[in-house]
Structure 1
Amino acid sequence: MPELIAPAAHLHAAWLDARADWGPGLHEDGFGLGPCDEVDSADGFAAWVARLAGAADPEAVASGQGCTYRWIVDGGRVHGGIALRHGPGDYVRQFGHIGYGIRPSSRRQGLATWALGRMLDQARALRLDRVLLVCDVDNLASVKTIEHHRGVFEGIEDTEHGPVRRYWITI
């Protein structure tokens, strides 16, 4: 049975395995991986995990600038990640309140749908009225996942990364 857990340094090898499944790049949506994060060494990985934990600090959350990161884990295997961004800022407007990614070998198992449902519960606990989700225009699996949770299509927006679909889910 999968679990949503806070990022943890002891899952370094499992996370590296998930990243290898994706291939090179920073496209692991939901993990909060930035271009300055060094995750190959144990120390670098632990520092990254600590940064992610800091984003969920109560002061960051209270200010509306926090982010709750969770990893989708089953049997010690990292299947993906999901992030709930709390604030109304430009980053949320561009990428949505919730972003997620499932490693290629774990797709088509319902994990994204399951994880999104759990994060909507988190959004409800934060008293968010509605959340924005954004996905690539041709990502039909995400469209299906978002619409499963009653996402309402707002439209397509051109971004610097290409066109995206925008959906709102009322909590």
Structure 2
Amino acid sequence: MNSEQKRAHDYLKSYCCRRRMLHAAADEYARAVSAAEHITAAVGDSGPSPSPSASKMTDAADSMLECADRAAAESDGMAALLAERDAVISAVADRNPLCGEILEMYYKEELPVAKIRIYLAADRCHPYARSSVYRLLDRARTMAFQAMRDMGVR
């Protein structure tokens, strides 16, 4: 793998990690909103005279809502980063559908080369040697680097 392919690999391999982070941020947002709703409902049931514990509960609900806002902002940032990586893979697929498909299977679906080889053999009705799949993957990485450069991605 040359330096261009290595840079493309490093950029694209973060796809799955960022996708997991996006799902974690979305889950954190949902938990924080749910907790804030439960706290607010409990405080609302306490009656018209606010007690010191109700004040603490309200502060806790506000804290949960702030946490939810931070999680939503983080989620938006992760979604933008995933969209950049999708754009690179799409640009490769526009130039060479097979290379785009290989990048998608390898980086987005996290399939190992052995499974990609099996899929290609079944889909293309043509057996692929393991070394051929690696060469195609390297070619796809080179194309991804060129797409990154064209798009102005670091």
Q: Which has the larger radius of gyration?
A: 2
Instruction: Kindly indicate which of the two structures has a greater share of residues assigned to strand.
Output: 1
TM-score normalized with structure 1 length: 0.23
More RCO (CA 8 Å, sep 6+) = 2
